[in-house]
Structure 1
C-alpha cells in the first residue's frame, strides 16, 4: 500500500534516517527525519497559481513542538498547543532564512513548509532535524528549489569541535553554533559563544559546513528515489530594453539621490525619481498595462545597480563613507531617573532607549516546553515601533522579526552575565528602537550592555556589536562595516558580530545569494573586529565599568543558607510562618530545596528584620552573647523577652538593673526593645537573660559591679528528737517522739489506728552537710528563692 523510500547515514556517531511515501502523501513533499528517538515530520505544499498583481514570494515556515513528543500534557488552562512560543518562532526563522534565497527570482507561488516534532528523546535537538526535513521535503516536491541544504550544530570544548552536541554538552562548553549550507557555500549562521576568537569561530563554521555535506548527500539519494517531476517555469523575459529605457529616464536622478547622506532627504529624492518614472511611462498604462507594471518593478533593480556599482567601482557608500568607517556614536547612561539602569545609544540614524530592570526570583520567566518547566532569569525584549522609520503601521504584539532580533541581542549579552550565585537578581532588558537606519539589533547590544552596567549588573566585560554587509559581483566583492538600511536591502549579506575586547559572543549571518565562501567570511570577521573595538571605545566614554552600587530604586537581595533540616521551621505548617514573616516585615522571602534563602526588598530595614527573624528560627542561642530583643510579657518576678526572632527567655527582676527594682512595669513595658545577654541555657532549653550587664544604648557588655551574694549561714539546727519506731505496716503509730511530735490519732478515712512510727530517725541533718546555696532554680520568683534584691 505504501511506496516508502528510506535513506540512512551515520552522522556524528548516530543514525540519521530520512523517510518518505508513508505519511502525509497528499502534500507535494513530506519527509520524516529521525535521529536517535527524536522524530520530525515536515510537509511542503505549493500553490499552482499566483494571485494577480502579486510581486513577492509568499514563503511561510511553521515549526511546532507537540507536547506528546516528550510524553507531556500542556500546562495552564488550555490543554492543547496554542500559538507559537518564542522557541517555535525562532526555529521557524532558522528554517526560513537559508531556504528563501534558493528560489528563483520571479517565482511568486505561495509555499507552506510545516514542521512538527512528533518524538523527542531529550538528547537530539529537533531544530536541526527540522531544517534537514524541510530541505528534503522541498527537494522531492518538484518546486523550483535550488537546494538541497544541510545543517549542523557545533559545540566547542577543550580545543575540540563537537558535532550536534546535547544540551548538557553545550552548557559545559564554550559554543553553540548552527550552520546551514549548500554543497558550495555557507547560507546561514546563528551562534552564542563565550568570548571566542575569530579563528575559532571561522573554524567552527567550516567544520559545520563539512559535516553538512553528508546530510546533503543523503537528501540527494532520497530525491533520486522519490522526487516528483520538476515544475515547468515560464522562461524569463528579456528586460534589457526596459532597463535601458528606465535608466535613460531616471538613472541620473537616482545617482544623485543616493549621494544624499540624510535618510529622509534621500528617500524624498528617490520617491521623486519613482514618480518621474510613472510619468515617463504613463502611455504604457493604457496600451500595455503588464509592460507598464513590469517596467516600474525594475526601479528597485536599477537602484541596486547604481548603489552596488558605486561601492565596487569607487569605494564610496550611500552616505559618503568608505567601506570600513563606522558612523558617529553618542552614548548616554542614566537617561531615565526612575529606571534601575538606562542608556540612550545613537549610531548615525539608528537609536535605542535601553532599560534594565532588576527583580527577584518570582519575576523569572516560566517556560513550558518539551523538556518540562524551566525558568529564565535573563530576558531581553526588543520593540520596533513604526515611527522609528517614519512610517504608519501596525503597533502591538511583537512579530517574528522582533522576536528574532531580541534573541540575537540576548545571545550576545548572555555569555558575560554573572552567575545567579554571584548576582541573585532576575534581569530584564528592554530595547525600544526610536530611530532605525541599519542594525538596530546591534544598537540593542550596545545599549543593553550600557544599561546593565548603569544598573550595577557586574558584567564580565562590556559588549558591542556591528553589522557587516556584502556587495558581490562575480569574483569582485566589498565588505561594508556598519551598514545602512538601504545597503542591507540592496546588498547580498547581513553579517552581525557582537563581542567583548576578549572575543566574540554572538555571530549571525543571513545571505541573499547562493552562499559565501570562507575567504569572504575571513575578511568580514577581521573588519568586524576593528569596528567592534572602535564602538567599545565610544561606549567607554559614557561608562567604562559597572557601577559599584545598585540604583536606589532597585530591590536589595540578601542570600544565606540554612540547614535543610530547618526548612520546615522557616516555612511552617501550610506556609504559616513564612507568610507571617513576609506580612510583618514587608520583605520577600524565597527558599529552595537546598536551604538557600533570598530575602529581598528596596528597604534595607525590612531585609534586616526578615533575616534576623529567620536566623532566630534556625540558629541556637549562645551563652555569653548579646542579642537585641523585644519584651513580650511582664510578670511579677521579671520579664519575658523574645530575641533571635523565635526565642524567648526570662530576665529575672534581679537582672534588670543593678539597683533594686520594686515593680517590673515601672521599668519595662511590653513591646520595648532591649539588649540582653544570655546567662544560661538549661538542658530543657530554658534561657536565662540579663539586662543589667549590657549597655542598653550601644549593646556593649558592662562589667558586673554588683557584689556577689554572701553564702547563707548553715548553723546546727539541733537534733529532731526520737521519732519513735518506724511504721511496720500496721498498728498504732503512737506519739511522734520527743522532738515535738503530736499524736495524729486515727485516720479520717476509717483506715484504723496506724500506731506509733517505728524506729528512731535520729537528729535532723544539718543543711551545710547536704548542699550549699548554689544557683537558684530558674525562673523562681523572689519569694521562693529568698532573694529580696
Structure 2
C-alpha cells in the first residue's frame, strides 16, 4: 500500500493525517501530526458479534507516553501503567463522541486506541486524537456515521481563539472542547456542522457568549471535516455489510398487546423503586408468556420490550405532555438541604433533589496535602480535590466495591470544574481543600447534586467562596420537528431521551458544562433554548439552597488546622530548613505544627493549637531575622580572640564585641570576662557596608533583656 498524506489548515496551523505509514493490521490507522504533536490512532472491530448483550461493546483508550515529552515514567517500574486522570477524561470524550454514530444494534467488539507519541505542549493531543479517531473509522470498513472533529475554544481580551496553547488557556475566561458532525443542510445546499459533544469550564461566563463560542468552534471544523471526506473518497474501504437483527412484526404486536397498558401504568408510578419493581414484573411475565415452549427467543422479546418501554415514555412526554413524576417540562424536583451534620468533619452538607441524595464532606489541609500529578505537559499541583463515589446501594444493587471507574472520575472532574471558579485564591485562603461526594441515592443528576452539596459544604466549612454554585441536568426529546427540553431529568428520562446536558454556574454565569447527545446533532436554536431553561432551573436551585445557607460561615471548624503564613526573603529559606532539615525538624518536634516552605520564601504553619502556631511563627522569625542597629540581643559566644569575642546573635549571624566593649571597667584579658559558649546580652552598634556587625556588651548591661523562650 502506498503511503499517503492528507493535510489541511486548522486554526492557523497545518494538520496532517498520514495513512499506510504504520499499524497495517488494524482496520483503520491514522498518524496525526499537528505541529510537533504526533498521535497514532487505530480502529479495530471484530467480524464476529457478541451474543447476549444489549449495548455497543466499544472501548476507547487514549494514552500519553512519557517519551512523547522526553521524560521517564515515575514510580519504581519506570513504565507506563494505568491511565491517569487526563488520559481517562480524553478517552471518555472520544468515546462519548463516536459511540452514538455506530449503527443501532451493532454488537461487534470495537476498540479505538489513541497513543500520543510526541507532545509539543502547544498543539492539543486530544484535538489530534479526536480527529484521527474519526478519520480512522472513516477510511476503515467499520460502519460509522461520521465524519466528526473536535476543537478547543478559548477567549482572550474578548477575542475567540481556536486551539489555544496551554499558556493562552491559563489566561482565557473559558475552555470549551466541542465536537461537531457533518449533517445535510435543511436547504439542500452544502452541509451544516452540528454539535454532538461538549465539555467545558468557564469563569462565570454568560450563556449567550458560550453559545457564540460553540458556533465559532463548529464553523472552524469545516476544513478538517472536508479533509476526511477527501480521504474517504480517495482511499476509504468499502463498508462491511451490517444487517441489524430483524424484529418479528407479529411477535412485536403480540408483545405490545400483552404489555403496553401495563407499561403505561408503570410509568405513572413516581417512586423509582416501585416503578422498577413493577417494570421488572411486567418484563418477567411478558418474556415468560412469549417464550413458553420456545415460541420466541428470550432475547427477541427483551429487545421488543426495550423499544416499547422507550416508546411509552417518549409518547407520555411528547404527546401527552406528562412526565413520570407529574412535573412540567421546566420544573425542578423538590429540593431540601441540611448542613453541619457531621460534627467532627470540617464541613458537611446533605443535598436532596427528588430521589437523588448526595452527602458532601469537606476537609481542609495544608500545602503538604496538595496532589501532585505528573503529566506529559509537566507537573500539576492541585490545591482543590473532589472525589465522587457511587456505591451500589444508591441504586438498590449489591456489588463488590471497586476502585473508581471512568464514570466516577468523569463525574468528579465535572463537579470539580464547576466549583473551581468560586474558590478563594491561595493568598486569601491558603488551605488545600478536598470534597468527597457520597451518592446515597440516585435517580438522575447525581453529579449535579455533588455540585450543589459541595457548594453548601464549602460554606459550612467556612471557606470564603465568591458565590454559591449549583448544577442542573437538562434533557431533550426530538421527533421530527417536535422538540421538548426537560429540566432536571430523571434516570429514565436520560435513558429514553436524546440528550444529557449538564450546566453548572452561579447567579452571574456558567462555570462548567457537559453534553452528550444521541441524535445527529444539536441545532443552535435548541442549544439556546436548553441554556436559557437551564439558567432558570439553576437560579431556582440557588434560591432553595440559600434558604439553608446563603454564605460562608465566619470561621472554619474548630477541628480544622489554623494556617499562618510568614514571608521570608528567598535567601533565608535555607535558614528555616537548616542543614539536613535540622531547623525545621526542631520546630516541628517542639511545637507539633506542620510546616511547608516554598522556594519563594512563603512559610506556611498549620496547627489546631493557636499557642503552638504562635511559638512556631516566633521560631521562624528568629531564624530569619536580620540584625538591627540599636537592638539588644541575647547571643552565644562562639569564638574568643585577643581583641574581643565573636557572638552569634541570630542563627548564622555573628558580630564582634571588641575587648573595649566588654565592660564599663577596663578588661585586660577577654577570658577574664567570657568563655566560649557563654550567653551574653549585647547591643548592635554598627553594621558596615560589608555586613560586618559591631556589638557592645557594655552598652547592653544596663538594659533588662529576657531571653526569647522560642530558642
When normalised by structure 2's length, the TM-score is: 0.89
Q: CA deviation at 1:625?
A: 6.4
Are 2:294 and 1:286 aligned? yes
Q: CA deviation at 1:236?
A: 5.5
Change (3 A) 1:681 1:333: farther
Q: CA deviation at 1:296?
A: 2.3
Change (3 A) 1:545 1:691: farther
Are 2:303 and 1:297 aligned? yes
Separation of aligned partners in 2, 1:443 and 1:614: 44
Number of the residue aligned with 1:654: none
Residues 464 and 535 of structure 1 are in contact (CA less than 8 Å); yes or no, is this contact kept in structure 2?
yes
Post-superposition Cα deviations, 1:282-336, rounded to whole Å, max 9, x if no partner, equal 33x52443xx431221112111111111111122101111111111111111111
Separation of aligned partners in 2, 1:265 and 1:11: 53
Change (3 A) 1:279 1:67: same
Q: CA deviation at 1:115?
A: 0.4
Are 2:461 and 1:455 aligned? yes
Q: Which of the numbers 429, 432, 450 marks the counterpart of 2:435?
A: 429
- SS of the equivalent of 2:182 reads coil
Number of the residue aligned with 1:333: 339
Number of the residue aligned with 1:616: 622
Change (3 A) 1:235 1:465: closer
Residues 287 and 301 of structure 2 are in contact (CA less than 8 Å); yes or no, is this contact kept in structure 1?
no
Number of the residue aligned with 1:375: 381
Number of the residue aligned with 1:212: 221
Change (3 A) 1:625 1:451: farther
Are 2:252 and 1:243 aligned? yes
Change (3 A) 1:115 1:694: same
Q: Which of the numbers 267, 281, 284 marks the counterpart of 1:258?
A: 267
Separation of aligned partners in 2, 1:239 and 1:149: 34
Are 2:518 and 1:512 aligned? yes
Q: CA deviation at 1:205?
A: 1.2
Residues 366 and 373 of structure 1 are in contact (CA less than 8 Å); yes or no, is this contact kept in structure 2?
yes
Number of the residue aligned with 2:570: 564
When normalised by structure 1's length, the TM-score is: 0.80
Provide the aligned length of Structure 1 versus Structure 2: 664
Q: CA deviation at 1:642?
A: 10
Are 2:443 and 1:403 aligned? no
Separation of aligned partners in 1, 2:141 and 2:59: 17
Q: CA deviation at 1:489?
A: 0.7
Are 2:497 and 1:491 aligned? yes
Are 2:582 and 1:576 aligned? yes
Number of the residue aligned with 1:346: 352
Separation of aligned partners in 2, 1:682 and 1:363: 45
Post-superposition Cα deviations, 1:252-277, rounded to whole Å, max 9, x if no partner, equal 11111111111111111111211221
Number of the residue aligned with 2:78: 79
Q: CA deviation at 1:52?
A: 3.0
Residues 38 and 120 of structure 1 are in contact (CA less than 8 Å); yes or no, is this contact kept in structure 2?
yes
- Tell which deviates more after alignment, 679-688 or 572-581: 679-688
Separation of aligned partners in 1, 2:76 and 2:10: 41
Number of the residue aligned with 1:388: 394
Q: CA deviation at 1:579?
A: 1.8
Residues 351 and 433 of structure 1 are in contact (CA less than 8 Å); yes or no, is this contact kept in structure 2?
yes
Residues 340 and 550 of structure 1 are in contact (CA less than 8 Å); yes or no, is this contact kept in structure 2?
yes
Separation of aligned partners in 1, 2:696 and 2:124: 60
Q: Which of the numbers 296, 309, 315 marks the counterpart of 1:309?
A: 315
Are 2:509 and 1:503 aligned? yes
Number of the residue aligned with 1:62: 61
Post-superposition Cα deviations, 1:733-769, rounded to whole Å, max 9, x if no partner, equal xxxxxxxxxxxxxxxxxxxxxxxxxxxxxxxxxxxxx
Residues 612 and 644 of structure 1 are in contact (CA less than 8 Å); yes or no, is this contact kept in structure 2?
no
Separation of aligned partners in 1, 2:70 and 2:604: 34
Number of the residue aligned with 1:120: 119
Residues 682 and 695 of structure 2 are in contact (CA less than 8 Å); yes or no, is this contact kept in structure 1?
no
Residue pairs, 1:167-178, within 5 angstroms: 167-178=166-177
- Tell which deviates more after alignment, 558-567 or 439-448: 558-567
Number of the residue aligned with 1:200: 209
Separation of aligned partners in 1, 2:434 and 2:635: 40
Q: Which of the numbers 406, 420, 433 marks the counterpart of 1:414?
A: 420
Are 2:277 and 1:268 aligned? yes
Number of the residue aligned with 1:532: 538
- SS of the equivalent of 1:427 reads strand
Q: CA deviation at 1:435?
A: 0.4
Change (3 A) 1:397 1:236: closer
Post-superposition Cα deviations, 1:604-658, rounded to whole Å, max 9, x if no partner, equal 122211111111122235567699x89999xxxxxxx9998888999xxxxxxxx
Change (3 A) 1:308 1:646: same
Separation of aligned partners in 2, 1:165 and 1:142: 34
Residues 21 and 31 of structure 2 are in contact (CA less than 8 Å); yes or no, is this contact kept in structure 1?
no
Number of the residue aligned with 2:128: 129
- SS of the equivalent of 1:302 reads helix
- SS of the equivalent of 2:47 reads coil
Residues 616 and 647 of structure 1 are in contact (CA less than 8 Å); yes or no, is this contact kept in structure 2?
no
Separation of aligned partners in 2, 1:412 and 1:179: 17
Number of the residue aligned with 1:24: 23
Are 2:181 and 1:182 aligned? yes
- SS of the equivalent of 2:426 reads coil
Post-superposition Cα deviations, 1:187-240, rounded to whole Å, max 9, x if no partner, equal 000000010111011111111111112111111111122211111122652544
Residue pairs, 1:766-781, within 5 angstroms: none
Number of the residue aligned with 1:589: 595
Residues 616 and 643 of structure 1 are in contact (CA less than 8 Å); yes or no, is this contact kept in structure 2?
no
C-alpha RMSD of the superposition? 2.7
- SS of the equivalent of 1:110 reads strand
Identify unmatched segments of 5+ residues in structure 1: 634-640, 651-675, 700-789
Q: CA deviation at 1:693?
A: 6.7
- SS of the equivalent of 1:570 reads helix
Change (3 A) 1:586 1:514: same
- SS of the equivalent of 2:221 reads helix
Number of the residue aligned with 2:45: 46
Number of the residue aligned with 1:713: none
Separation of aligned partners in 2, 1:534 and 1:694: 67
Residues 457 and 546 of structure 1 are in contact (CA less than 8 Å); yes or no, is this contact kept in structure 2?
yes
Separation of aligned partners in 1, 2:525 and 2:549: 36
Q: CA deviation at 1:243?
A: 2.8
Number of the residue aligned with 1:14: 13
Post-superposition Cα deviations, 1:528-581, rounded to whole Å, max 9, x if no partner, equal 000000101111111111112111111111112212222222222222222222
Separation of aligned partners in 2, 1:687 and 1:367: 54
Separation of aligned partners in 1, 2:694 and 2:464: 45
Identify unmatched segments of 5+ residues in structure 2: 184-193, 639-646, 657-679, 688-692
Post-superposition Cα deviations, 1:707-733, rounded to whole Å, max 9, x if no partner, equal xxxxxxxxxxxxxxxxxxxxxxxxxxx
Separation of aligned partners in 2, 1:511 and 1:311: 18
Are 2:326 and 1:320 aligned? yes
